[in-house]
Amino acid sequence: MHHKTIAELAACLRRGEFTSTDLTRRYLARIECLDPHLNSYISVDPEGALAAAGHADVRLGRGEGGPLTGIPIAHKDIFCTQGIKTSCGSCMLDSFIAPYNATVVERLEQAGALVLGKTNMDEFAMGSSNETSFYGPVRNPWDVRRVPGGSSGGSAAAVAARLCAAATGTDTGGSIRQPASFCGVTGIKPTYGRVSRYGMIAYGSSLDQGGVIARTAEDCALILQAMAGFDPRDSTSVERPVPDYPGGLDTDIVGLCIGVPEEWLGTGLDPGVSAVVTAALTRFEAMGARVEQIRLPHSPLCIAGYYVIAMSEASSNLARYDGVRFGHRCQEPADLTDLYRRSRAEGFGTEVKRRIMIGTYALSAGYYDAYYLKAQKIRRLIADDFRRAFEQVDVIMGPVAPTPAFLLGAKTDDPVQMYLGDIYTLSLNLAGLPGLSIPAGFSADLPVGLQLIGDYWDETRLLAIAHQWQQTTDWHRTAPDFEP
């Protein structure tokens, strides 16, 4: 039963083929057996999950509930969950038990989904390989010698290995789409402001956006339907009606105009990835779409602009972890300065410290105009590039990452090379646009995703295109032969 999609599981639960308790026990058994080899979970809550499954079975027995009732999911450990540790992958929050639920957690619980546990992640979402976690790296179920991507690598690995039906994630610069590509699953980052950030621990506040990693576009639509919508507790949440995402999946794509950025298909793109993307575009043409080349002339500037903005915002957001109010506190500090210094030095990992230092420098007097202000101007130019592109085309497609999943440790000593791996994903976060990664093929037996980019609030179209793709292909049904 763990090989079924959410839509299939929901139908089986309603027909009484098995119960939510049966399904939950299956996932918990798989987690216990397989996850020690993947490290995709930080916390597992068997008692809470089984109790919630029991309540779901009662509702299902009465013919009540919705499409997510009784479905076991996982949350990225960046979302606050009442009574369950929320660590953000950091020693700093290793002992933090959130006193409330994030809006995303709250809404999915109201929709009937139950929580198996919290998934591993790069510390404070800072990383592209899930190797910066205080709890150790996550391994890719397609090849345990390789990374699953980051920062939502635990969520992607858990979905790919069938250790949950779906998982939440966050995307600050590609952290849903890149791990979805590396692990051969589907992941969507909505438009900035579509999903509430309340209770989602901040990294880069103007960039972070919650989303979904699941097996299929249909499953993503079901989860996003429950997650999305205005939240008065989040000042960045946009008061805008939420469309019927599942209801829009059957939209025909004949006549769709696809734009392909010429800047994305040149030097630096792995030949195997290029071949998969080219084959996917050819297939879309056969399905009735039209492909045109477009220009995003400022996209080469996105890495520099993004990392100045993201690190500056991280420097500000992480200032609250001072060893006084909550989080890690050093032992026997000599004075207040020593308390601050040692608590932060002990609580944060190397990559987080690096980003705090760079961000603090960029915001400092004398450098603000030269770095942070200039980066914001680049952001505007990138957004304008997309605005002009969407005057010509309906959707933009291209690679998610320059390569398939790379070996563990291959880039940990070279942060610049790690950052360069985000070249195709960062610009969406700078512009606030929605993006989606779908399984599109393999390169050297490793999954490769195709990235779909829509105009603002165009998640319905992206999900429909992905769904139509998945009606004619079976890449999303291919599972890793993961037997440790």
Catalytic residue among 151, 152, 155, 315: 151
Residue 228 DSSP label: B
Catalytic residue among 90, 129, 175, 427: 175
Question: From CA 264, how far away is CA 248, in angstroms rounded?
Answer: 29
Residue 151: active-site member: yes
Query: Mind giving me the DSSP string for 404-421?
Result: SPPBTTSSTT-HHHHHHT
Q: Which two tokens stand for residue 116?
A: 């198996």
Q: Which two tokens stand for residue 340?
A: 């601050």
C-alpha distances out from residue 280 to 252, 286, 289, Å: 17, 10, 11
> Are 242 and 459 spatial neighbours (Cβ–Cβ below 8 Å)?
no
Residue 262 DSSP label: G
Catalytic residue among 20, 40, 76, 189: 76
Give me the residue label for tokens 């991507």: 149
Residue 242 DSSP label: P
> Are 116 and 24 spatial neighbours (Cβ–Cβ below 8 Å)?
yes
| CA dihedral of residues 448, 258, 426, 42 (deg, nearest 10) | -40
- Mention every residue, 6+ apart, whose C-beta is less than 8 A from residue 134: 87, 89, 90, 91, 94, 123, 349
Q: Which two tokens stand for residue 238?
A: 């946009």
Question: From CA 235, how far away is CA 200, in angstroms rounded?
Answer: 13
C-alpha distances out from residue 441 to 284, 463, 466, 481, Å: 14, 18, 14, 16
Give me the residue label for tokens 């997309």: 386
Question: From CA 90, how far away is CA 95, in angstroms rounded?
Answer: 10
Question: From CA 33, how far away is CA 401, in angstroms rounded?
Answer: 31
Report phi then psi at 195, rounded to 5.
-115, 135
Give the full edge-to-edge strand order of the sheet including 395-399: 41-44, 114-119, 72-76, 166-170, 210-214, 186-189, 435-443, 446-453, 395-399, 257-261, 290-294
| CA dihedral of residues 66, 196, 344, 136 (deg, nearest 10) | 40
> Are 438 and 476 spatial neighbours (Cβ–Cβ below 8 Å)?
yes
Question: From CA 177, how far away is CA 241, in angstroms rounded?
Answer: 25
| Residues labelled catalytic | 76, 151, 175
